[in-house]
Structure 1
C-alpha cells in the first residue's frame, strides 16, 4: 500500500505543478506627474500641503521672483529702445535738419560765387602784371575749395531727403524682433517661478521646505492624477501572442467582489524584471512582459497600490 500511496502523491503533485491560473498579477497604479524647478531660486511660499486635493492651474510652489523681474524690466527697456530706433528710421529726418542742410547749400553756393569772382579779378590783374602768381594760385585754391564744400552740402541734403537705406530699416526691424523674443523668454521664465498644477489630483510629495534654495532641474512637486487607476501587471510569455492593444480584459481587485472591465493600453515588447509578488511559484522561472490595463470611471475610488489580477485569454 505504501508504494501505491507514494505513486498517487507524485501524480497529484505533478497535477498541481501543471495547473495554470490564467491570470496576470500586479497592482493598481495611477499616473504620476513630476514638476521640476526651472531655476535655482529660494522657495518663498508653499500654499498647499502634501495629501491635499489640487486642481489644474492651482499654485503649488512660489519661488523668489525679484531677480527675474529685474531681467524682465531690462528686456522691456530693450524692446522700447529698438522700437524707438526703428520709428526714427521710418519717420525720416526732421524738417529742421533738412532746412539746416538747405541753408548750408545756399551758404556754400554764395561762397563759391565769391570765390569765382575773386579768382576772375585775380586773373585780370595778373594779365596786367598788377598782382603776383601766388595770389592767383590762392584765389584758384579758394575757388576749388568752395566748389568742393558746395558738392558736400548738396550730397548731405540729398541724403536727408532720400532717408535711410532699406537695409538699415530691415536691420532695425530684426533687432526689434530679437528684443521682443527675448522679452517673451524672460517673461516665461518669470511665470515658471510660480509652479502650478498641470493636472488635477492629489499632492503626493513636496520634497523641499519653505526657505530652501532648490537646484535647477530638481523635482519639486509630485502629483498623483485623479483619474481612474490602471492595472500594472506582468504577462507570462505564452499569452503574449493572444493580446492586442485596445483589447478588453477582466480585472479583479483583492477584497472587492466586483469584476472590472479594462482596456489594454500598453504591452511591453521586451521582458521585464519581475517582482516576487507578480508571479506564482510555477511561473517565476518564465519570461514575463509588463502590461497596463486602463479601468473605467467605475474604478475612480479604488486606492492605489492594492494587488490586482487580470484574467488572461485561454
Structure 2
C-alpha cells in the first residue's frame, strides 16, 4: 500500500519572516557595495612671472593660450636707466684696474728721465758750490774775505749737496712699485667696482624675463606701453606639472587609497580617460556635522584626495573643469 507524501505548510508567521530576512540580506549586500566613481574638478597652480623692478612694458613676446618652451622670451621692460648704470660701473672698474696696474709698475720711463735731468743739474750746481767754497776758504785764510761770506759759501755747498742726494733717492723710489698697503687698498677698490658691475648686470638682466620652465601662458594682465609696478605679474603661466585633480571620496573608501595609486579622470569632451596618480590623501574629513559619529553620520564623511596627470596628459585638462575620477 503506497502512502502519499505531502509538503508541510509553513507556519502562519514563517513566510513573512523569510521575506523580511531576504530583504535584509539584500539591503546588507547593497550596503557592502562601494562605488569607484567620484566627482571632482581640475585645479591649476599658476606661476606668476614678474620683474623685481618697475618699468614700462616695451615687449610682450607671448599671448594667452600659447604653449612656450623653457627659456623662451616672455616680456621686457624699458631699461635705459639700468643700461646707463651698467656702463658707469664698467668705466669705474676699468679706471680702478688701470690705477692698480700703475701702482705695480712704478713711474713711467719719461718721468724717470725728467728726474735724471734734474739730478744732473743739481750735481753741476753742487760742483760749482764746492769749488766756490774752496776758493773762499783760501781767501779767508789770507784775510781776503769776511767770515760771513765764508759761512754763506759753506751753506750753499751743503744745500746743493743735499739736493743731489734728494734727487738720487727720488729716482730710486720712482723705479719701485707702490707700497703693499697702497696696492691692497687699490685691489679692494677693484673688487668693489667689479661687484658694482655684477649688480648692474643683474639689474639689467631682470628687465628681460624668460620662462624658467615650459608651460601654458594662462594670462597676460598688462599691455604694451603700460607701466608695470615692481613685482607685479606680467605673465601667468601654468606648467604641466602644476595641473592637478581634486576630488572627494567617502569615509568607506579613503582607507583603500594611497599615494602613487593610479586613477582615471573622465571629463566631458575628453576622447579617452586621462591617467593620473594620487599625490595626496587628506588626514581629516570635511563637511562633517559636529556630533558623535554613528553609522548614519559616518556616511556623510568625505575626504579630499588629489591626483596629478603626467606632463604629456596635463594639457588635456583645464582649471575649473568638472571631472569624474574612477579606479581602473
Secondary structure of 1:209's aligned partner: coil
Partners of 2:274 and 2:309 within 8 A in 1: no
Instruction: Find 1:303's aligned residue among 318, 325, 328.
Output: 318
Instruction: Find 2:160's aligned residue among 146, 166, 178.
Output: 146
Q: TM-score, normalised by structure 2?
A: 0.70
**Residues 35-64 of structure 1, C-alpha deviation per residue, up to 9 Å, x if partnerless?**
112221111233433233333333332322
Q: Provide the aligned C-alpha RMSD in A.
A: 4.1
In 1, Cα distance between equivalents of 2:135 and 2:129: 10
Partners of 1:249 and 1:311 within 8 A in 2: no
In 2, Cα distance between equivalents of 1:111 and 1:236: 113
Q: Please report how far the alpha carbon of residue 91 of structure 1 lies from its aligned counterpart in structure 2 after TM superposition.
A: 4.1
**Residues 248-301 of structure 1, C-alpha deviation per residue, up to 9 Å, x if partnerless?**
33243344695554344x548986988xxxxxx967767x56745444634542
Q: TM-score, normalised by structure 1?
A: 0.73
**Residues 108-133 of structure 1, C-alpha deviation per residue, up to 9 Å, x if partnerless?**
22322333333333333334333233
Partners of 2:45 and 2:242 within 8 A in 1: no
In 2, Cα distance between equivalents of 1:125 and 1:273: 124
In 2, Cα distance between equivalents of 1:241 and 1:140: 115
> Any unmatched runs of 5+ in structure 1?
1-11, 275-280
Q: Does 1:84 align with 2:98?
A: yes
Secondary structure of 1:219's aligned partner: coil
Q: Please report how far the alpha carbon of residue 155 of structure 1 lies from its aligned counterpart in structure 2 after TM superposition.
A: 1.5
In 1, Cα distance between equivalents of 2:221 and 2:211: 15
Partners of 1:227 and 1:300 within 8 A in 2: no
Secondary structure of 1:162's aligned partner: coil
> Any unmatched runs of 5+ in structure 2?
1-25, 288-296
Alignment of 1:104-119 (within 5 A): 104-119=118-133
Instruction: Find 2:262's aligned residue among 235, 249, 256.
Output: 249
Partners of 2:62 and 2:74 within 8 A in 1: yes
In 2, Cα distance between equivalents of 1:125 and 1:15: 147
State which structure, 1 or 2, has the greater radius of gyration over its C-alpha atoms: 2
In 1, Cα distance between equivalents of 2:218 and 2:35: 35
In structure 2, do the counterparts of structure 1 residues 240 and 169 end up closer, same or farther at CA, with 3 Å as the change threshold?
farther
In structure 2, do the counterparts of structure 1 residues 290 and 85 end up closer, same or farther at CA, with 3 Å as the change threshold?
farther
Between stretches 228-237 and 49-58, larger displacement belongs to 228-237
Partners of 1:112 and 1:150 within 8 A in 2: yes
In structure 2, do the counterparts of structure 1 residues 118 and 107 end up closer, same or farther at CA, with 3 Å as the change threshold?
same
In 2, Cα distance between equivalents of 1:66 and 1:268: 51
In structure 2, do the counterparts of structure 1 residues 161 and 180 end up closer, same or farther at CA, with 3 Å as the change threshold?
same
In structure 2, do the counterparts of structure 1 residues 143 and 236 end up closer, same or farther at CA, with 3 Å as the change threshold?
farther
